[in-house]
Amino acid sequence: MKDWNALPDDQFRVDIRAFLEANYPEHLRYPSRRMRWHEVKEWYLLRAEQGWTAPGWPKEYGGVGLSPTKQLIYIEELERWGVARAPDQGVIMVGHLLIKYGTDAQKKEFLPKILSWEHIWCQGYSEPNAGSDLASLRTQAVEDGDDYVVNGQKTWTTLAQDATHMFLLARTDQQAKKQAGISFLLVDLDTPGVTIRPIRNIAGHEEFCEVFLEDVRVPKRNLVGAPNEGWTMAKALLGFERLFLGSPKLAQNALGRLRTLAEARGLFSDQGFVDQFARLELDVADLGEAYESFADQVRAGQPLGADISWLKVWGTETFDRIAALAVQSAESYGALAGPQRYGDTDVDALVLYFDALPATIYGGTNEIQRNILSKQVLQLP
CATH number (domain holding residue 212): 2.40.110.10
Shared domain for 291 and 329, answered yes or no, is yes
Asked if the structure places residue 299 within a domain, the reply is yes
Shared domain for 366 and 317, answered yes or no, is yes
Residue 1 confidence (pLDDT): 64
Asked if the structure places residue 174 within a domain, the reply is yes
What's the pLDDT band for 80 if we cut at 50, 70, 90? confident
Asked if the structure places residue 97 within a domain, the reply is no
Q: For residue 276, what are the CA distances in angstroms to 56, 98, 262, 333?
A: 39, 47, 12, 20
Asked if the structure places residue 104 within a domain, the reply is no
Shared domain for 316 and 196, answered yes or no, is no
Q: What percent of the chain has pLDDT over 90?
A: 50
Domain boundary among 199, 229, 259: 229
Residue 361 confidence (pLDDT): 81
Question: Residue 185: how many CB atoms within 10 A of its CB?
Answer: 23
Q: Are the CB atoms for 120 and 90 separated by under 8 Å?
A: yes
Shared domain for 263 and 181, answered yes or no, is no
Shared domain for 372 and 308, answered yes or no, is yes
Pairing of strands 340-342, 345-347: antiparallel
Shared domain for 265 and 329, answered yes or no, is yes
Asked if the structure places residue 103 within a domain, the reply is no
Residue 90 confidence (pLDDT): 93
Asked if the structure places residue 181 within a domain, the reply is yes
Segment of 157-171, 202-216, 339-353 carrying the highest mean pLDDT: 157-171
SS3 (DSSP) at 247: coil
* Mean pLDDT to the nearest integer, 55-72: 88
Distance CA 351, CA 52 (A): 31
Residue 132 confidence (pLDDT): 64
Distance CA 211, CA 270 (A): 49
| 365 against 134, higher pLDDT | 365
CATH number of the domain that residue 285 is part of: 1.20.140.10
Residue 103 confidence (pLDDT): 95
Shared domain for 199 and 268, answered yes or no, is no
Q: Are the CB atoms for 228 and 181 separated by under 8 Å?
A: yes
Distance CA 336, CA 265 (A): 17
Select from 187, 94, 101 the least CA-distant residue to 149. 187
Distance CA 282, CA 179 (A): 39
Q: Domain span at residue 50? A: 4-86
Shared domain for 267 and 183, answered yes or no, is no
Shared domain for 274 and 320, answered yes or no, is yes
Domain boundary among 203, 229, 255: 229
How many domains does the chain fold into? 3
User: What DSSP line would sit under 91-156, residue for residue?
Assistant: IIIIHHHHHHH--HHHHHHHHHHHHTTSS-EEEE--BTTBSSSGGG---EEEEETTEEEEEEEEEE
Residues annotated as catalytic (active site), given as ranges: 241
pLDDT tens readout for residues 297-345: 776 767 778 888 888 899 999 999 999 999 999 888 777 777 777 777 7
Domain boundary among 86, 110, 142: 86
* Mean pLDDT to the nearest integer, 68-80: 84
Asked if the structure places residue 96 within a domain, the reply is no
pLDDT tens readout for residues 213-267: 999 999 999 999 999 988 887 776 766 666 667 778 888 888 988 998 899 889 9
DSSP annotation of 2? -
Distance CA 73, CA 195 (A): 39
Distance CA 297, CA 283 (A): 22
Shared domain for 125 and 66, answered yes or no, is no
Residue 373: is its pLDDT beyond 70?
yes
Shared domain for 199 and 262, answered yes or no, is no
State the chain's mean pLDDT as an integer.
Answer: 88
Angle CA(296)–CA(248)–CA(115) in degrees, nearest 5? 75
Angle CA(21)–CA(91)–CA(315) in degrees, nearest 5? 70
Shared domain for 135 and 222, answered yes or no, is yes
Residue 241 confidence (pLDDT): 65
| 299 against 138, higher pLDDT | 138
Asked if the structure places residue 114 within a domain, the reply is no
